[in-house]
Chains A and B, each alone.
Chain A
Amino acid sequence: MPGNTSSVSDLTRGSSRAVVLGMAAIVAILVLAGVLLFLNLPDTNEYNARVSQLFAENANLTSPAELQLLEILAQSGTVNAEVLVSYRAVIFVLILFASLLLITALVLVLALIALNRKLAVVQKAGIQVSSLVISRGERKVYINDLEFDLTEAAVETLAVLAEARLDGDMMTGVQLESVITGRKEVDCDEAAGATRIKRLRDSLGNQIVSELLVRNIARQGYVLAVEKDVIRMI
């Protein structure tokens, strides 16, 4: 069991590091792409500057037709550059979306890995109680939405164990018997409490399942092997 626990925490540490590294890589790629995008595309004045240079360098460009042609050249260049600017915005938005998708995919993959590990742990543990509902009035217990009919004494035992579990306590057979019968602990017998536990396990049926549910810790007592937050009493 200790080995198992350490491997899970190793995984958590490793995966959180992977998340940070992955996010950093994605953000770095996005920033690099954005910088290249904004650096490499010519600005609007590039064409105008070229046409002006052409005009200045050729002294024989004097006829109105030539000058008009040059003006049209510069104007079309300007239009072209405006189109490029809009392309740049569109590409930038697309890069943003793509990086968001990458981040989502990364997180999902890591969540999937974590779930797989958790599933393996669950499979090893045999039973994972995700909800335990005790209904005293109906004398029923719902474990993972499976319904079990119990005797009144068994429900009482289970309810006492559940309350003890909620408080984080363990109960010896003596304490169990004392709480249920209302007598003082000195007047109670360890064997009587143990019998109650046995009956509870018997009425829950499957011995393995009930071993896993009602655990006996040597020299400390009995405890429900379920998480506190899954227990509900109705």
Chain B
Amino acid sequence: MRLRPFTLALAATLAMALPASAACYADYRAQQSDPVRFHYGVAQISDGACGNPGAAAAELRGRLANNGWTLVDVLSTFGDDGLASRQGNAGQYFLRF
């Protein structure tokens, strides 16, 4: 009985700490054909793909295809600190997919 607050606290700490420390994002460009549309967006990617644009592209390609977009390229991957500077250009596609 006395252990319960501790386990809850531990779980909460882990749950909050994990995304904060390992958050990884990629900015990419995608397009649709007929009618031709383009967008630049920012999406969160898994930790394993961090720093590896190829892996990020593989991950994003499927996600975008489900929404009717074709990935053109992944420009870079970055952490929390790069989000603010890209929010303006990404617009409605900021963390959308």
Q: Which residues of A contact B (CB under 8 A)?
A: 48, 51-52, 55-56, 59, 61-64, 67, 70-71, 74-75, 78
Q: Do the beta carbons of B29 and A55 come within 8 Å of each other?
A: yes
Chain A residues whose C-beta falls within 8 Å of the C-beta of B91 in the assembled complex: 64
18 new A-B contacts, CB < 8 A, other than A59-B75, A62-B29, A71-B38, are A48-B34, A51-B36, A52-B31, A55-B29, A55-B31, A56-B73, A61-B29, A62-B40, A62-B89, A64-B91, A67-B38, A67-B39, A70-B36, A70-B38, A71-B35, A71-B36, A74-B36, A75-B36
Complex Cα spacing A98 to B56, Å = 60
**Chain A, residue nearest B33 (CB):** A48
Q: Do the beta carbons of B31 and A62 come within 8 Å of each other?
A: no
Instruction: Knowing A51-B36, A52-B31, A71-B37, say if A64 contacts B89 (CB, 8 Å).
Output: yes
Contact of B38 among A55, A59, A78 (CB under 8 A): A55
Q: Do the beta carbons of B72 and A74 come within 8 Å of each other?
A: no
Complex Cα spacing A64 to B90, Å = 7
0/1 interface trace, chain B 1-44, chain A, CB 8 Å (1 if under): 00000000000000000000000000101010111111110000
Shortest distance between the CB of A112 and any CB in chain B (Å): 56
Complex Cα spacing A26 to B38, Å = 49
Q: Do the beta carbons of A52 and B36 come within 8 Å of each other?
A: yes
Chain B residues whose C-beta falls within 8 Å of the C-beta of A78 in the assembled complex: 35-36
Q: Do the beta carbons of B38 and A75 come within 8 Å of each other?
A: no
Chain A residues whose C-beta falls within 8 Å of the C-beta of B39 in the assembled complex: 67
Enumerate the 8 nearest inter-chain pairs by beta-carbon distance, A residue then B residue, closest first. A74-B36, A62-B40, A67-B38, A48-B36, A62-B89, A63-B89, A64-B91, A56-B72
Q: Counting chain A CB atoms within 10 Å of each CB, which of B31, B40, B91 scores highest?
A: B31
Shortest distance between the CB of A43 and any CB in chain B (Å): 13
**Chain B, residue nearest A55 (CB):** B38
Chain B residues whose C-beta falls within 8 Å of the C-beta of A70 in the assembled complex: 36, 38
Chain A residues whose C-beta falls within 8 Å of the C-beta of B73 in the assembled complex: 56, 59
Shortest distance between the CB of A77 and any CB in chain B (Å): 9
